[in-house]
Structure 1
Amino acid sequence: MNINQNAQTRWIVGIVVALPEELATLTKIKLLRGGYTALNDNILVAYAGTGATNAESAANLLVSKGAKALISWGCAAGLSDELKPGDLFIPKQVLSEQKQILDADKEWLQHLQILLTNRMRLITDLLVESSVIVGSSMKKKRIHQETRALALDMETVAVFKTANRSNIPCLAIRAIADPVDMNLPLAVVNSLNTEGHVEIDKLLRYILRHPSEIPGLIKLGLHFNAAAKTLKIIAHQLNDIINFKKQVGIQ
């Protein structure tokens, strides 16, 4: 399919994902970082890699390919004990590290609340940006106290900023992976590369030296599976989510 064909006359929504595991909740197609694909005539997905710079590049790419709305998709960290692994979090506002507040599209958010509330646990509140991975439970609690945000990720604010500059609507659809009371296992933290991906060889070497990390890794895996399950359920509702914006005629 020629993705650019009639892009300016079709309703297209662009979805930005940071990690291959998040991409897998939307499609079986494998992408290189910085690549994109079409799920159908109305949905484009870009695999950004982690962090604000990568997310901004991916969002700009999708806008250049005709996206008339953007979604930040994936997992988030919980900052309050109100949020449990697998909970769906759709922020009504996002807060940048520079204290800039950006709003989600209100009509779109209300539509998702009506569409999804009776199907799963859904929380909508403030999400805050971090330029680094926050693995410490103590630090997550401190960020919550300082900002009153309920969740945190590294990419959503950059997607919102791109949408704001392009004057198009934006939402974030995030599932909670690591709750506030969980410290990320050091095996994971010490195995991350500059893109935020776990390097398996480093992970295995660390586990061999620190076998006490295994229970924490198992727990994190269960939490991530809960988040991925939620995202897959939402993925099956994407056409209803997308078609609402098309019907109300927001350009």
Structure 2
Amino acid sequence: MTVEQMSSPTVPALRSVGLVTGLALEAALVPAKASPRLIPLCAGPGPAAAARASWRLMERGCSVLVSFGTAGGLDPALPPGTLIIPEEIRLIGDQPPLPVDSTLRRRLLAACERAGLPVHAGPLVGSDLPLLSPAEKARVAQLSGAAAVDMESHRVAEIALDAGLPFLAVRVIADPADRSVPRWAMKGINEKGATVVAPILLALALAPWRLPALITLARSAARARHTLGRVACGPLLDLLGR
């Protein structure tokens, strides 16, 4: 049986779609007045926070869960800003992949095509820890065969599967496969997924030569957010029927 066969053969009425994000900036990309049925929620980065956000969204009556945000590139051919709507979520190890709802995915792909948004099919792999170096990314790419990695999608997919809800992942590459993410830069995000400036300013004050790396990271992140914003303002609304 394929992953798509495991997915829901029919799609329930989309009362509301819950978007689980790891960063507050990602949640803020969803226009507040776009639709009351498109509900973003950030509880922070990582699988535990993604689980909390998923449960809260289900308590609010969401009938679909979407993992929405950025990802780390594993395929060296994919630059920052690449949109990935995977056909499955893979796990590191011998565990079977987690399904993505095939019907909703087809509808979302069609909406992206109408919006002129190119999509890479994936797959995506979940990691409980951030992959910060090209060597770490290469190792996981070899183990999983995935195009990109993030820390939330696999947990959201597990919860949706247990709850019998459709699941989708919408991820955009922020840091490509051949680029390191400095540990000092990770301190710019707190446990709630909010941006904190003070640790970054301190890191630059202690080592001003870090500035070019920070600028590169910021530019790539901006490209990723631009793509995510386009998806939120168009295809995801089309999924709801506006």
Give the TM-score category using the shorter length: 0.7 to 0.9
In 2, Cα distance between the equivalents of 1:217 and 1:160? Answer: 32
SS of alignment partner, residue 241 of structure 2:
helix
In 2, Cα distance between equivalents of 1:196 and 1:142? 27
For the 8 Å contact 1:77–1:178, the answer to whether it is kept is: yes
Q: Secondary structure at the match of 1:46?
A: strand
**Which residue of structure 2 lines up, in the alignment, with residue 233 of structure 1?**
230
Query: 1 CA distance for matches of 2:194 and 2:15?
Result: 33
Instruction: Tell me: higher relative CO, structure 1 or 2? Use CA pairs within 8 A at least 6 residues apart.
Output: 2
Equivalent position of 2:89 in the other structure: 94
Change (3 A) 1:163 1:212: same
Q: Is the 2:24–2:193 Cα contact (8 Å) retained in structure 1?
A: no
Letter in 2 for 1:113: L
* TM-score normalised over the length of structure 1: 0.83
Summarize the Cα distance change of 1:164–1:39 in structure 2 as closer, same or farther, 3 Å threshold.
farther
Corresponding residue to 2:58 among 54, 59, 63: 63
The Cα of 1:148 is off from its aligned counterpart by: 0.5
Q: CA deviation at 1:25?
A: 1.0
Identity %: 29
Q: How far did 1:157 drift? A: 0.8
Residue of structure 1 in register with 2:179 after alignment: 182
Equivalent positions of 1:116-195 (< 5 A) are 116-117=112-113, 119-189=116-186, 193-194=190-191
Q: Which runs of 5+ in 1 are unaligned?
A: 1-8, 29-37, 245-251
How far does the alpha carbon of each residue in 1:35-65 deviate from its partner, in whole angstroms, 9 at most, with x for none? Answer: xxx9634222222211111111111111121
Q: Deviations over 1:206-240 (max 9, x none)?
A: 11222221111101100000000001111111220
Letter in 1 for 2:89: V
Structure 2: which 5+ runs fail to align?
1-12
Equivalent pair of 2:22/2:193 in contact (CA under 8 Å): no
Counterpart Cα distance in 2 of 1:40 and 1:103: 27
The AA in structure 2 aligned to 1:139 is E
Match of 1:13 in 2: 17
